[in-house]
Structure 1
Amino acid sequence: MPHLLITDDEASIRDLIADIASDEGYTVAHAADIRQARIQIERQKPDVILLDMQLPDGDGIEFWSNLELPDTQVVFITGYSSVDSAIKALRCGAVDYLLKPVSLRRLRGVLAELKALLQKQPTPGSTDCFARMVGNSRAMQLLCAHIEKVAPTQATVLLVGESGTGKELAAEAIHLASPRHQKPFMPVNCGAISPNLIESELFGHEKGSFTGADRQHKGYFERASGGTLFLDEITEMSMELQVRLLRVLETGRFMRVGTHEEIAADVRVVAATNRNPEQAVANGTLREDLYHRLSVFPLELPPLRDRDTDVLILAEHFLNKLNVEGKTKKTFSPAALKAMSDYSWPGNIRELRNFVYRSYILADTVIHGDFNTFELESHSAGWGSEIMVPVGVPLADANKQLILATLKQCGGVKKAAAEMLGISLKTLYNRLEEYGAAGDVDESSSFR
């Protein structure tokens, strides 16, 4: 069994963590300060240390930095979150950084992941349904707490948040924490499917129901039977299709295109939009009755700028994955960490991930940067550029100008333009096809 040392001056916290750790299969030792921690380490070398950053007889980070325990994993605990403390924790090799009051869900997840790592076994998907939702800010803890509440129910959920905030990951977490977790989770980007095909894609069609329908096709509602169907960019649906979706949600039944035979829809629907849904109702892009039917339990995903030190935790997470894949040991300089912490990240997690990837490619061993160079890199990718749209221009024309200008700013690289715009690559291709510009850009680049 892996051995855990809990070093914290609050006895109630030590006892609580010890109970959870025992349930997760750890043997546990306690220490109230650095002196007691040294004694416990002499008695038995821990596999994992949960270490308070501020102890009565010294600094937790300094204590850890002076220890020579290369095979021991450390997780810092603090009641005083700050950018500097997060940077220090990550720089000295911490695998995580927990805030008081400690999230029991997050603690269980961390302990399970570390145990699996120590035993060289994959963490079971049911152990921590939030494993891919990296971060421990108050905003993320609240979001995960709400997901835990709604997941066991059959309520439809509407996820609202800016592009790049991780709505699909949240939908998947709802699925994994639900009784449906052993059945399919099927994400559908409603904006990426041709308007002429989306009805068939959702509900299926019979052979011969339209030109080219040479066989029966089962739609997402059938293929996700027993599981969860995630409908992203819900406001991209036509009004006619919204009516059909509303009927399915209310009756629990649907029909394939080309037949009048009803089929039971045994699916849990989670929908998402990066627009203000009430404004979408006012603009006529979302039916009011469908909005109310979808938002039985609305959840708002926090933008990255409101997630405190999660920026640094996510950046290290992305860099660690790249280091593993590339068999490298690249690190961030303190200046780069400070720059990432100071930036507002209008593109949220997607923008951060792309920045880390780009910086990783360019760096030799250390990723350097200060605020000015960081901001310059972001703006050189297109953020901060402006286009002038006169008042009264139809929204479709304004969207066209924005998309074509962004594509030009990205040098014709459609993948980069789609990520900057916060839409899928397929959605971008559909829009360009509508504008008659799909072939205007050189397709020879391997970075499409």
Structure 2
Amino acid sequence: METVLAAHADLAWMLAAFVFVLLMFPGLALYYGGMLGARNVLNMMTMVMVTLGITSVLYVLFGYGLVSGPSVNDWGLIGNPLDYIGLGNHLTDDESGGIQVLYIAAWFILFAAITVAIVASGAAGRMKFSAWLVFAPIWLTLVYFPVAHWVFAADGEGYSGGFLLNDIGIHDFAGGTAVHMNSGVAALALAMVLGARRKRMERPHNVPMALLGGGILWFGWFGFNGSCAGGANFLTQYVVLNTLLAGSAGMIGFAAIERLREGHVTSLGVITGAVAGLVGITPSANAVSPLGALGVGIIAAGVVAFALSFKSRFAVDDTLDAFAVHGLGGIVGTLCIVLFASDAAPAGIEGILFGGDIAILWRELAGIVITCTFSFVMTWLIAKALDKTIGLRVDEETEVGGLDATIHAESAYEIPAAGVGHAPGLTTTPAPRAVSVAHGHAEPVTASH
């Protein structure tokens, strides 16, 4: 009886965590939408939300097998989807009351979809929506599914899983490699192929929206990390606490840097620091102590703040800083495992600063280099191929007029005179000037909207 109750408790927590993670999609849409100009907010939000639909369909058709299926030829490179097409052999209830494959598949769908949604940020304000609908499923199939197999698929009885997890032995609790490094580097590659926006100096049109979206992301992160503990247990409590601490430390750390460097603290800086800390703790949540989680948050926020200070010097228009926040944040979180993981934490890993084996450094570095290199090269090739065939970028008139009106026939803040509905040719009132913004650091310029 006790076992059955425990199984039900585990399932109840995991279903609640699933809802937390699901809320990350509108949260990310608000976060990214608020940081863009008013003419492109709906386009960005739609790109984020539509990835959930695309990913859900692909995952049921063949994605689950590619990620979680037995590795083809035991090479550790990609799973075999044949036994999992449509999840047909997992549609029966074993009556245990516990977590079954159907839930695991749904859980993996959300992890995959949020990764692609982050990649969309690198294309904000200049990519054809139709091209995104082609790019997203291709990227999922050729980039995310293989990397997720490398990191998440454990060896089982009579079959092999992914090589990064089982052969090299990297530690990645909740997706520092497959989710954050992968998406950050991919967003950078996509931005490089697309080129800079014609109105790169556009300022965030709705900072409160971005702040609200970031707060919803933080809420969802408790489900994101907490669900990786597999149930209602001590590990869940541990990683939820560390998630809170790292986000808080990142927020305070970024604010302190802004105050020292700029003389003021911005709301975008505060929420960016929190997200940086949350990204950093994702791979290390079960490996560091609570004091270590504070260190992860501060270090991740510091690295992200430093990277953002150089943003204006580079020609690459990584519009919403996915590479700095997610790519570098994921790398920092992984390296923090190497430095000060505590053997008293649930993972039982000892960092080299506490006398751990130096081999942990080479394992984690291998995971970083392999993931980032594969993601960048494959994303660049996919984007280049699509750009040469269907074309990725909208024309100048569409881009200058804004993608909301020209592509979606909608406006975020205007109701057509004829009433509510879709009205072609909507325009928004131009702002008097533009400013250069890197997550809250604004600098007046002479260009107009």
Same fold (TM over 0.5): no
User: For the superposition of Structure 1 and Structure 2, which TM-score range results when normalised by the shorter chain?
Assistant: under 0.3
TM-score normalised by structure 2 residue count: 0.28
Point out the structure with the larger helix share: 2
Point out the structure with the larger strand share: 1
